[in-house]
Amino acid sequence: MEKRNELYRGKAKTVYTTDDPSRLVLEFRNDTSAFDGEKVEQLEDKGMVNNRFNHFIMTQLENAGIPTQLDELLSDTESLVKKLDMIPVECVVRNVAAGSLVRRLGVEEGKTLNPPTFEFFLKNDALHDPMVNEYHIEAFGWATKDQIAQMKELTFKVNSVLKSLFEQAGLLLVDYKLEFGVFDGQLVLGDEFTPDGCRLWDADTREKLDKDRFRQGLGGVVEAYKEVGQRLGVKFS
């Protein structure tokens, strides 16, 4: 597979075309950003850590019957993925109150949510990713009614698989966001699953081991990501 031209450069990843029009190369960079790109830093080894972490998680999800974009690991920082027609909506599940939920609703951080909450957000940095509902998504043509139902079903299936996986590693899956796209008419999990896009706490101490370390200036971001990966069995070398 030959990597060709840069197709898209995001805040932390770059996407390249290949000689196969149905496949792309996803490169994880060391760039780290928060607050819609207002805070940006380079963190050594972050690209490698996230690429390998994502490969591990996506493999676990594939083994559980959840279709994903990932094909194979190409290098420390690159993966081969299917070219999806992305749906511009983020699916967010929260098992524990944290982040924007606490700010919006004034609830206590750390409160267990039973049942877990589900929210849709429009993927639009300029609008600061506003919350939307199923009616908005269908009315504006971002996804069909069937696709909306499938996204919810798959997102909760991911929750079941990963909550158990992280619990076995002494970790609490607080919340996470997922993105989906369409490949050959099938809804497929796309983008990534790394500590950049979820919240993970130590189950006993509640120490934050995710991107909140960067947002809140706690330091040790890559070290925390590596710790999570090592507890799960991710190989970083």
pLDDT at 6: 96
- For 104-129, how does the pLDDT look when each residue is reduced to its tens digit (9 = 90+)? 999 999 999 999 999 999 999 899 99
Average pLDDT over residues 1-23: 95
Is the pLDDT score of 79 beyond 90?
A: yes
Looking at the predicted structure, is the pLDDT value of residue 237 above 80? no
At residue 4, the pLDDT reads: 95
The predicted structure's pLDDT at residue 1: 75
Confidence of residue 36 (pLDDT cuts 50, 70, 90): confident
Residue 33 has pLDDT above 80, yes or no: yes
Q: Across the chain, what does the average pLDDT equal? A: 96
Q: Quick one: what percent of the chain has pLDDT higher than 70?
A: 100
Evaluate if residue 77 carries a pLDDT over 90.
yes
Right CATH number for 3-82 from 2.40.30.10, 3.30.200.20, 3.30.1490.20, 1.25.10.10?
Answer: 3.30.200.20
The reported pLDDT for the residue numbered 169 is 98
State how far the Cα of 191 lies from the Cα of 151, in Å rounded to an integer.
14
Kindly report which listed range (26-30, 31-35, 92-96, 161-165) carries the lowest average pLDDT score: 31-35
pTM for this predicted structure: 0.95
User: Using 50, 70 and 90 to split pLDDT, how confident is the model at 39?
Assistant: confident
pLDDT-based confidence at residue 174 (cuts at 50, 70, 90):
very high
pLDDT for 47 beyond 90: yes
Query: What's 86-220's CATH class?
Result: alpha beta
175-219 pLDDT per residue, tens? 999 999 999 999 999 999 999 999 999 999 999 999 999 999 999
Q: What is the pLDDT of residue 180?
A: 98
Q: What pLDDT is attached to residue 195?
A: 97
Q: Which two tokens stand for residue 177?
A: 């966001």
Window from 28-37, 57-66, 137-146 with minimum mean pLDDT: 28-37
For the chain, the domains span: 3-82, 86-220
Per-residue HEC secondary structure of the chain comes to CCEEEEEEECCCEEEEEECCCCEEEEEECCEEEECCCCEEEECCCHHHHHHHHHHHHHHHHHHCCCCECEEEECCCCEEEEECCEEEEEEEEEEEECCCHHHHHHCCCCCCEEEEEEEEEEECCHHHCCCEECHHHHHHCCCCCHHHHHHHHHHHHHHHHHHHHHHHHCCEEEEEEEEEEEEECCEEEEECCCCCCCEEEEECCCCCECCCHHHHCCCCCHHHHHHHHHHHHCCCCC
